[in-house]
Structure 1
Amino acid sequence: MAVVSAHLPPNLTSGGTLVPQRLAHGLAGRGHDVRLYGGHLSEGEALESWNEVDGAGVPVRWIRITPFTSWSDPLNSVNPGAEGDFARWLKEHPADVVHLHALQTLGAGLVTVAAATGARVVVTMHDFWWTCARQFLVAPDLTPCSLAVSCGACPCAVDHAWLERRNAELGRHLARADLVLVPSRTAAAVMIANGVDERRVRVDENGLPPDSVPREVVRTPADRVRFLFAGGSDPMKGLPVLLDALAQVPAGGWSIDLHGVDAGAVAGLGEHVQARPSYAPGELAEVLSAHDVLVLPSIMRESHSILTREALGAGLAVLCTDTLGPEEVVVDGVNGVVVPAADPAALAGALRALVDDPAAVRRMQEVAPQVSVRTLEDQVTGLERVYDEMLAPLPAGPLRAVPTVNRVLFVAGIQGAPLRYRAHLPAEGLRTLGVHTDVRHYRDPEVPALADRADAVVLYRVPATRQVLDLVAQVRARPRAVPVLFDVDDLIVDPGLRGSVHGLEGMGQADLDLWWRGVARYRTTLEAADAYVGSTAALCADVHALTGMPVHRFANGVGAALGRLSERATTRPRTPGPLRIGYFSGTTTHDADWALVERAVVEVLRRHPDVELWLGGHLRTGAALEPVARRVHRLPMLPWTELPGRLRDVDVNLAPLVLDSRFNEAKSAIKWLEAALVGTPTVASPTEPFRESIQDGVTGHLAADHDAWIAALERLLCDEHHRTLVGSRARRSALLRWSPERQGHRYRELLEDAALHVVTHERRTSTWEPVADDEPASPVGGWIEQYPPDEGAVVHLPAWRLRLAAAGRVYRAGGARAVASKVAARVRAPH
């Protein structure tokens, strides 16, 4: 085995450097032939290498990497010189398994070098270097970066474009690894959100030697709450934020020791704030025994945090920031408190709350030792199993090759947000994986030629026309089997729902007939396809029950453009003013949904005379709102590029849906997703998509009845800590679960499944009676909205564009006759 790390003790000792050394020693102690390859920080010639044997008898090859420690140095990321030495070393000492740990300064190319030898290759990510050149997802101005790099604008070590090019190059090397290990579930989620294929990721929590976790510490009594900070002076560990917070906490009833901090840094804060020297590892138990609460104010994202686990094991409560690793063991309000990173006011508030309630601190301390800490011995045993699995021979028998999907054509039948979520965003996700994608309107003259070159064709919300049905026949006639999929994100393919769809009550009979003809046309296109793609489980189940065809689930996700706009909105505080409840209606079909919560909202407004209600978009409200009308602010429909700013300015977002409705059960959780991206908490009806997206009380609130809506609103309005924490956790969940890169992997998998199905199965036959119109190709009619929009542009839709969009909706539903009918009605209408 070859174990590789950019840094190793005794040259550089830290939690991250001890892990590979401990694992190498543990494996060698079990009789394996283990060698270490490590970077060395010292004066001398760059890339000079030499061999030693360490104190445990394990051979070590050192290579001097001192000049490459700058994050902006290209050789920090990819280092051909180090690759050459590593290749020569591996040739001299062939390995069955090459296990690479930290690679900054050595470069990602070592993965490719190792794979070229025929060895099995494992990469352990101890931090986020593979997606963040600065390693910890913190911008140079010490603000936390977007967890999904493509959804942010962090300049990193050079600029964002440089970061994207760097990450793409590193990704090509990482693709040669057989397995990627990460020390925590949240670290795994971050790397998957940034494009690592989740099928190759496994959690391998760091194990600790038995004597490194103090247990049953004898605590010295005190008449005050004693806080401990051990992060030293590194600003990414949060010292400036902590000092700012400490200045906001009145003296009395508490003290804090700051280890590794100069005395000058705490001047003027009072005698209860003491700078202490760094402690040696053997002094840890003594230090922990003299304190009650560990304060971990990190700005840097922590992939694991050994100190958090050591402190809990010793019976300390932990006050930490929401920086991933610590939160895997710190439960807010149970064994500690979690606050947003880089927020001195929130940290000060948490410190004050603990000082004011020593009994709560004692309760947290009582349950703190229940934390489970993995042993080093268990981690070594787990690695042996991993290596055995990787080296085991493949099972005998033929393996069916999955068809390759390199070019995808999305054909769209609608503009606006639906087009963006169901066509542009999956296309964007696929492009992050190197898949070529085209998004075109179904009347675009180039569609037939593009379909001839595509490996898969997706028809999104395309009404049946003779030309569309001819296009499907054209794809079917190709020499190789190419899947045609139909996607729609509403249950508008079932004529049997007539009479049960909310929002159509105001239509005249002629318009209703045209609307339902549109449903029949969508159904016709669906029946012509090989498979269906739906945004919710309910949609997929309903379509499968209707047609019997294969169905694939693809949830609506986060686009890079909306992610960047949302990040920009979160960098500013909410516009000053009272607390605000917001409801933003995207279409005219949500009146019944609003009526579901109107009384509850009014009751909450009466209890809180300073709270405002912001209503956006098309919405008719009831008489119950009249007594509080002066606090209701009506907002017009906005382009989606302005929505993040509006959502940022409300404190609670509402997402009501009428329950027990098949149509509503099929609607996705977009209202939660868009609010989550700006850190605004949502109260939603418990339809399946919202239950799937929201962890109740953690990333939002679910409310099924009048009383539940009131209780959720009261909790969020009255508890600022809870409101802030729910919002920040919702943002994290949205980015990690539905990032463009993660969505790209999911979409490619479903396309590969669909392609394999059409190769291995007979084409299905349909008994549906087709309903189609004649709509020839047209360069004008084939126009489609640009995505992404120009960076920084604020899109204001002129009146003619709004009228054109409205005409397009009518046309898709009922064709040219429907548009003519609407125009005639407009002409006859009184002015």
Structure 2
Amino acid sequence: MYKIIPHAYDTEFPWNTTISERIEKLLKGKKQGKRNAVYLYELADTSTFRYRVYNVCQALDLSIEWNGVYFFASEMKYLIEYIDIIDVLVIARFRWTQELSSLISKFKSYGIPVGFESDDMIFDNSEVGLIMNTLSVEESSERYDYWFSYLGRMERTLQECDFGITTNDYLSKIMSEKTGKEAYVIKNFMNRLQLEVSDDYYEQKKRQASSEKFVIGYFSGTPSHINDFRVVAPELINVLEQCPNAILRIVGFLTLPKGFEEYVEKGRVEQLQLVNFVDLQQLIAEVDVNIAPLMINRFTNCKSELKYFEAAAVGTITCATPTFTFNQSIKNGVDGYLLNQGEWSGKLLEIYNDKNKNNMEIIKNAKQKSIDNYAFYNMVGDTNAVFDKVSR
């Protein structure tokens, strides 16, 4: 475990700007000769909105070709008012409404391309059973009504759009097959504040050695990951049994399966509440290893690699299930570890005992990859390229 001094920051909601400020940014972009890519999202949040909308717009701030601005459901009237200076409209994970449909039709009548953005496979009603099972959703009429409605409305929005944008090739292929339209990839990546605090924590870790406590971090976020946690639970218990100094840190809402009671009583399982995305980087930096177990199926293969690069940025080793995206992002044994069931306890014990003498090299490689592949300022070219294609 590492002792990390918190990094000072002004706000955990850097995207909280006024409608006047965002309209001014739209006008400024046009004056500068840039093309305006406008995102429409229902209501700002710290997960999908941050990664798929705010971060992309921040990357485009460094572009000489494109300008990114976001608006919300309650602000649709402004999109009509300023339609003449908008070049592309991207509707991000937005449930269909009649008002939204009318907006899409209006933009199409002006010849402006309209896209649908999603970071999950949440636009196909035929996948309801798989999704509910993966997320451990209780089966009931109310739950079925919710999920069929949610996916159905997302699907309707997608079908009315001209193209799609997703986080990885696996998900983009599914989206294209669903619609017969092109679906492009803009990877998840880190914003300026996230990188700033992460760099600070990485440097702090470089100046110290881990304490006697060996902390395994599981940053679940929501209780829907219980089935993912079960993938590794027996092997975590084995590590706790064999390593008296090992502690399991869980951040988020998770009901532990049977077998952990003894370790909870002994204080060897920490269960911490959800924190904002800035403070999360500190909690990840404090642990010795980050675990990202997942069931492997069509839904989880669509997930992005953010749990890897968030840890890599602060100098924490990641052990992950070899889903499609983790396979694409992690080079096993070089900048992280890819583990199947039956391999987790052995690898965690190896890291604990530092027998491979390779941990520092892996941390260094992963940190460099987090900058090269997932820093907002290195994603400008890829983002420009997508908007160039959809605007032709």
The normalised TM-score by structure 2 is: 0.85
Residues 647 and 489 of structure 1, relative CA distance in 2, 3 Å threshold: same
Say if 2:71 is the partner of 1:440: yes
Following superposition of structure 1 onto structure 2, how do residues 744-759 of structure 1 map, counting pairs within 5 Å?
Answer: 744-756=380-392
Match of 2:261 in 1: 626
Q: Deviations over 1:163-184 (max 9, x none)?
A: xxxxxxxxxxxxxxxxxxxxxx
Match of 1:453 in 2: 85
Query: Which of these residues, 308, 316, 320, is aligned with residue 684 of structure 1?
Result: 320
Match of 2:374 in 1: 738
What CA distance in whole angstroms lies between the structure 2 residues aligned with 1:528 and 1:450? 21
Match of 1:509 in 2: 141
Measured after TM superposition, the shift of residue 616 of structure 1 is 1.0
Match of 2:123 in 1: 493
Q: Which runs of 5+ in 1 are unaligned?
A: 1-152, 154-403, 757-831
Please say if residues 606 and 628 of structure 1, whose CA atoms lie closer than 8 Å, have aligned partners that are also in contact.
Answer: no
Q: Deviations over 1:50-102 (max 9, x none)?
A: xxxxxxxxxxxxxxxxxxxxxxxxxxxxxxxxxxxxxxxxxxxxxxxxxxxxx
Measured after TM superposition, the shift of residue 507 of structure 1 is 5.5
Match of 2:293 in 1: 656
Following superposition of structure 1 onto structure 2, how do residues 700-779 of structure 1 map, counting pairs within 5 Å?
Answer: 700-706=336-342, 708-719=343-354, 721-756=357-392
Name the aligned partner's letter for residue 460 of structure 1. Answer: A
What CA distance in whole angstroms lies between the structure 2 residues aligned with 1:579 and 1:464? 47
Please say if residues 137 and 143 of structure 2, whose CA atoms lie closer than 8 Å, have aligned partners that are also in contact.
Answer: no
Query: Which of these residues, 568, 574, 584, is aligned with residue 200 of structure 2?
Result: 568
Say if 2:250 is the partner of 1:615: yes
What CA distance in whole angstroms lies between the structure 2 residues aligned with 1:738 and 1:583? 21
Task: Provide the secondary structure at the position in 2 that maps to 1:623.
Answer: coil
Task: Provide the secondary structure at the position in 1 that maps to 2:224.
Answer: coil
Task: Provide the secondary structure at the position in 2 that maps to 1:407.
Answer: strand
Say if 2:102 is the partner of 1:467: no
Moved more, 603-612 or 738-747: 738-747
Residues 751 and 484 of structure 1, relative CA distance in 2, 3 Å threshold: same
What CA distance in whole angstroms lies between the structure 1 residues aligned with 2:136 and 2:169? 25
Match of 1:579 in 2: 214
Q: Deviations over 1:444-475 (max 9, x none)?
A: 14232244421111111011111111111111
Please say if residues 309 and 374 of structure 2, whose CA atoms lie closer than 8 Å, have aligned partners that are also in contact.
Answer: no
Query: Which of these residues, 294, 309, 331, is aligned with residue 673 of structure 1?
Result: 309
Match of 2:27 in 1: none
Task: Provide the secondary structure at the position in 1 that maps to 2:251.
Answer: strand
Measured after TM superposition, the shift of residue 426 of structure 1 is 1.0
Please say if residues 582 and 654 of structure 1, whose CA atoms lie closer than 8 Å, have aligned partners that are also in contact.
Answer: yes
Please say if residues 653 and 680 of structure 1, whose CA atoms lie closer than 8 Å, have aligned partners that are also in contact.
Answer: yes
Please say if residues 405 and 455 of structure 1, whose CA atoms lie closer than 8 Å, have aligned partners that are also in contact.
Answer: no
What CA distance in whole angstroms lies between the structure 2 residues aligned with 1:744 and 1:508? 45
Higher helix share: 2
Q: Deviations over 1:517-567 (max 9, x none)?
A: 011111111111110101021111111111111110111112111000111
Say if 2:280 is the partner of 1:643: yes
What CA distance in whole angstroms lies between the structure 1 residues aligned with 2:376 and 2:327? 22
Task: Provide the secondary structure at the position in 2 that maps to 1:498.
Answer: helix
Residues 555 and 594 of structure 1, relative CA distance in 2, 3 Å threshold: same
> Pairwise CA RMSD of aligned residues?
1.8
Please say if residues 451 and 457 of structure 1, whose CA atoms lie closer than 8 Å, have aligned partners that are also in contact.
Answer: no
Measured after TM superposition, the shift of residue 585 of structure 1 is 0.9
Following superposition of structure 1 onto structure 2, how do residues 17-96 of structure 1 map, counting pairs within 5 Å?
Answer: none
Name the aligned partner's letter for residue 426 of structure 1. Answer: V
Task: Provide the secondary structure at the position in 2 that maps to 1:443.
Answer: helix
Name the aligned partner's letter for residue 59 of structure 2. Answer: G
Say if 2:54 is the partner of 1:424: yes
Residues 583 and 450 of structure 1, relative CA distance in 2, 3 Å threshold: farther
Following superposition of structure 1 onto structure 2, how do residues 145-156 of structure 1 map, counting pairs within 5 Å?
Answer: none
Task: Provide the secondary structure at the position in 2 that maps to 1:416.
Answer: coil
Structure 1 runs (4+) deviating above 6 angstroms are none
Measured after TM superposition, the shift of residue 598 of structure 1 is 0.4
Following superposition of structure 1 onto structure 2, how do residues 141-220 of structure 1 map, counting pairs within 5 Å?
Answer: none
Match of 1:146 in 2: none
Please say if residues 597 and 656 of structure 1, whose CA atoms lie closer than 8 Å, have aligned partners that are also in contact.
Answer: yes
Match of 1:822 in 2: none
Residues 687 and 477 of structure 1, relative CA distance in 2, 3 Å threshold: same
Task: Provide the secondary structure at the position in 2 that maps to 1:570.
Answer: helix
What CA distance in whole angstroms lies between the structure 1 residues aligned with 2:164 and 2:115? 5
What CA distance in whole angstroms lies between the structure 2 residues aligned with 1:437 and 1:749? 14
Measured after TM superposition, the shift of residue 646 of structure 1 is 0.3
Name the aligned partner's letter for residue 114 of structure 2. Answer: V
Task: Provide the secondary structure at the position in 2 that maps to 1:552.
Answer: strand
What CA distance in whole angstroms lies between the structure 1 residues aligned with 2:262 and 2:338? 27
Residues 504 and 609 of structure 1, relative CA distance in 2, 3 Å threshold: closer
What CA distance in whole angstroms lies between the structure 2 residues aligned with 1:595 and 1:696? 22
Measured after TM superposition, the shift of residue 577 of structure 1 is 5.0
Measured after TM superposition, the shift of residue 612 of structure 1 is 0.8
Query: Which of these residues, 524, 533, 538, is aligned with residue 170 of structure 2?
Result: 538
What CA distance in whole angstroms lies between the structure 1 residues aligned with 2:54 and 2:139? 31
Task: Provide the secondary structure at the position in 1 that maps to 2:70.
Answer: strand
Q: Deviations over 1:780-831 (max 9, x none)?
A: xxxxxxxxxxxxxxxxxxxxxxxxxxxxxxxxxxxxxxxxxxxxxxxxxxxx
Match of 1:406 in 2: 35
Measured after TM superposition, the shift of residue 724 of structure 1 is 2.3
The number of residue pairs the alignment matches comes to: 350
What CA distance in whole angstroms lies between the structure 2 residues aligned with 1:718 and 1:519? 46
What CA distance in whole angstroms lies between the structure 2 residues aligned with 1:519 and 1:451? 29
What CA distance in whole angstroms lies between the structure 1 residues aligned with 2:315 and 2:84? 44
The normalised TM-score by structure 1 is: 0.41
Task: Provide the secondary structure at the position in 2 that maps to 1:612.
Answer: strand
Task: Provide the secondary structure at the position in 2 that maps to 1:500.
Answer: helix
Percent of aligned positions that are identical: 24
Measured after TM superposition, the shift of residue 725 of structure 1 is 2.0
Indicate the structure whose relative CO is greater, using CA pairs within 8 Å and at least 6 residues apart: 2
What CA distance in whole angstroms lies between the structure 2 residues aligned with 1:604 and 1:486? 44
Following superposition of structure 1 onto structure 2, how do residues 278-317 of structure 1 map, counting pairs within 5 Å?
Answer: none
What CA distance in whole angstroms lies between the structure 1 residues aligned with 2:125 and 2:341? 30
Measured after TM superposition, the shift of residue 677 of structure 1 is 0.7
Match of 1:597 in 2: 232
Following superposition of structure 1 onto structure 2, how do residues 790-809 of structure 1 map, counting pairs within 5 Å?
Answer: none
Please say if residues 648 and 679 of structure 1, whose CA atoms lie closer than 8 Å, have aligned partners that are also in contact.
Answer: yes
Match of 2:108 in 1: 476
Q: Which runs of 5+ in 2 are unaligned?
A: 1-8, 10-32
Measured after TM superposition, the shift of residue 504 of structure 1 is 4.5
What CA distance in whole angstroms lies between the structure 1 residues aligned with 2:140 and 2:78? 37
What CA distance in whole angstroms lies between the structure 2 residues aligned with 1:569 and 1:448? 44
Say if 2:326 is the partner of 1:694: no
Name the aligned partner's letter for residue 40 of structure 2. Answer: V
